[in-house]
Amino acid sequence: TTFNVGYIVGSLAKGSINRQLAHALARLAPPQLELVEIPIKDLPLYSYDYDADYPAVARAFKQAIAGVDGVLFVTPEYNRSIPGALKNAIDWASRPWGKNSFARKPSGIIGTSPGAIGTAVVQAQLRGMLCFCNSPLMNTLEAYIQFKPGLIAEDGTVTNESTAEFLGNYMKELHLHIERVLTVHPRAN
């Protein structure tokens, strides 16, 4: 079986190193995983005033999540916390009440930063949010990737051999996680 994984990049920057990481992960993933980006950049700021009538862009966002077998968050850490755009996207997906897109949707978290702890703080915070949203989150492997210039080549190749192997193992583990969750709770949609 092939599983579709929607990845959400927490950065809006054109040169995002986290998008580069996502491209690298798509290349390193086992053949059973099909990766596709779920974009968040055009979502307006969420308010529950929208709950009665979500705008088209937000409906499309929720449909994109409904259409995948799992979600992979690839996010930077901003001021030791979650980038505003990503928090906003999570709020949109989690509502309206009773239509939480993350419920029973397997997920994983990964991120990169030039800093030595490689997004560890934001990942811990994101875990709490996804628990609250009832998303079965992969507990391990954890991946805190310190970004160094040249780590990821233009074509998405990871130039450091041990990092490439580690990231490949992360994606293998994500595959097993999604398979396990969907065995217990097959997708309703």
Residue 60: what residue type? A
Query: Using CB under 6 A, which of 17, 85, 126, 130 touches ligand FNR?
Result: 17
Residue 36 touches ligand FNR, criterion: CB under 6 A: no
Over the window 62 to 101, marking each residue x when it contacts ligand FNR by CB under 6 A and - when it does not, the resulting string is --------------xxxxx---------------------
Binders of ligand FNR in range 102-131 (CB under 6 A): 113-115
CA 131 from centroid of its chain's CA atoms = 14
Q: Which is nearer to ligand FNR, 55 or 114 (CB)?
A: 114
Region of 156 (left: φ > 0; alpha: ψ -120 to 50; beta: rest) is left
Contacts with ligand FNR by CB under 6 A: the residue count is 13
For 164-177, give the DSSP string.
HHHHHHHHHHHHHH
Kindly provide the residue ranges of all beta strands, DSSP E only, lying in the chain, ordered along the sequence: 3-9, 33-37, 70-74, 107-113, 144-146
Q: Least distance to ligand FNR from the beta carbon of 19, Å?
A: 6
Q: Least distance to ligand FNR from the beta carbon of 113, Å?
A: 3
Q: Which is nearer to ligand FNR, 32 or 125 (CB)?
A: 125
Residues 172, 177: Cα–Cα separation, whole Å: 9
User: Judged by CB under 6 A, which stretch of 12-20, 86-94, 128-136, 175-183 contacts ligand FNR?
Assistant: 12-20
Q: In sequence order, what are the residues at sequence separation of 6 or more whose Cβ sits closer than 8 angstroms to the Cβ of residue 45?
A: 88
Residues 45, 88: Cα–Cα separation, whole Å: 6
Q: Which is nearer to ligand FNR, 11 or 101 (CB)?
A: 11
Q: Least distance to ligand FNR from the beta carbon of 42, Å?
A: 17
Residues 76, 16: Cα–Cα separation, whole Å: 9
Residue 41 touches ligand FNR, criterion: CB under 6 A: no
Residues 174, 88: Cα–Cα separation, whole Å: 25
Q: Which residues bind ligand FNR (CB under 6 A)?
A: 11, 13, 16-18, 76-80, 113-115
